[in-house]
Structures are given as structure tokens and as C-alpha cells.
Amino acid sequence: MNKLISNNIHKSFEMGDDSLVVLNDINLTINENDSVAITGASGAGKSSFLHILAGLDKPTSGNIYFNDFDLSLLSNNRLSQIRLENFGFVYQFHHLLEDLTVEENIFMPALINKSLDNEKKLIVKDIMRSLDIYKRKNHLPWKLSGGEKQRTALARALINNPKFLFLDEPTGNLDYENSLIIQNLLFEMSNKYGIALITATHDNKFLKSFNKVYKLKDSKLSVIDE
């Protein structure tokens, strides 16, 4: 059973003589099959926390455990390898590479860890069909709508069959209709491939779909619904 644990996480940013405390003693366990939402006002520390959980940034103190690994003890190479094989990340802004096609963008994480084989290409075809971007596979990102770009970013995050998928305000830039499409697809993909979701959002309607909801406020994490 895959597990991701945040143990006494603190994060502060040094600004001259001042220290801005963003996360203060955050403890959270995320199990396989969990769907977790993290809410909180802008500036509350949601992105900082997601980046630390996903091993993209280091805490000031505390540990993140992924199964038997303490992420802080791993070399950078080993950490990237673990991230590529187990974690997917979707940002508010899609961050697609503009001179690669939709399909090439989706292939990228598999090219990086040299796992792009015919079987994976078939899975990508299936994912593109499920996300309704298959007909766009040979197009460059600038030709896509906002919703299609975000669905491409979601497909890219799914290609290595992650166990944990992190989403930082994935619907923050979309209109109502496209937000709903992304929300539904997220849970459909999570159920189909058995992926835990960890989503930062302040869309209250979206929160109802998650089995655990937490709020970041004054650098502390509290439970809203569990």
C-alpha cells in the first residue's frame, strides 16, 4: 500500500532580517486511493506545501516519507527518478512546451525516464481518447483551447502511471464548463488507474468530490472534512 507522509513540516522564507513562516508543523498522511483537497486563501501556502510533498522543494525542517523513503535523504538523481516513476504534477498554467505537439508533450516524462515503448504509446492513445484530445494529437499547444491545454497537461502527468497526482489549482484558469469537465475527468482517471489525488483549490463546489478536505490558515493545516 503506497503512502505519502508529511511529518512535522516547517517552511519559512528568509527575507533580509525577517523570516516569513508559511508552513508550521504540518502533519498529514495520504494513502493510496485517497482524494485530498487543500484549500485556503491565496498566499496561505498551498503551492509551497504541494511542492514539498511532491519532492519539488525542500522543507526548512521536517520529513516527507514516500513508502520507505525519506525524500530528504535521497540524492537529486534518485529523487528525480522516484518523482518520475511515482508522482505526477498538474499546474494552474499548463506549462506545455510550445514547439512540441500535444502527443510529444505527453510523451516527454516517458522520454526522460526512457520508458516510452509501444505498450506505453497505446496507453497514451487510450488516455488521449478518454480526455478527448486524441484528434488534437498533432497540433501545437497554441492552437488548443484552455480546456484542451489543461487536459493535455493532465495526460502528460498520467503517462508514467503515477501513484500520487498533485494538482495546483488545476481549474483556476478555466471557465465553469471546462472546470467541470476537468473535475469529472480527474476522478474518472483516479478511479480507473488507482491514483491518489492531492489538489490545491479554492473552488468550493469542487471540494465536495474529495474524501478528505483540509484548510491552510495562519501556517497551520486543519481538517474540514474527513
Ligand X SMILES: Nc1ncnc2c1ncn2[C@@H]1O[C@H](COP(=O)(O)OP(=O)(O)O)[C@@H](O)[C@H]1O
What residue ranges bind Mg ion (CB under 5 A)? 46-47
Alpha carbon 130 to its chain's center: 19
Q: Is 90 in the site for ligand X (CB under 6 A)?
A: no
48 binds, among Mg ion, ligand X, none (CB under 5 to 8 A by kind): ligand X
Q: Is 215 in the site for ligand X (CB under 6 A)?
A: no
Least distance to ligand X, CB of residue 115, Å: 31
Q: Is 46 in the site for ligand X (CB under 6 A)?
A: yes
How many residues belong to the site for ligand X (CB under 6 A)?
A: 11
Of 8, 13, 176, 211, which one interacts with ligand X (CB under 6 A)? 13
> Mapping DSSP to helix (H, G, I), strand (E, B) and coil, where does residue 4 land?
strand
Who contacts 16 (Cβ-Cβ below 8 Å, separation ≥6)?
Answer: none
Of 44, 90, 131, 213, which one interacts with ligand X (CB under 6 A)? 44
**β-sheet bridge partners, residue 200:** 38, 168
In angstroms, the CA 49 to CA 45 distance is: 6
In angstroms, the CA 81 to CA 214 distance is: 29
In angstroms, the CA 50 to CA 38 distance is: 9
Contact 26, 9 (CB under 8 A): yes
Of 4, 9, 22, 26, which one interacts with ligand X (CB under 6 A)? 22
Of 47, 152, 183, 199, which one interacts with ligand X (CB under 6 A)? 47
Least distance to Mg ion, CB of residue 47, Å: 3
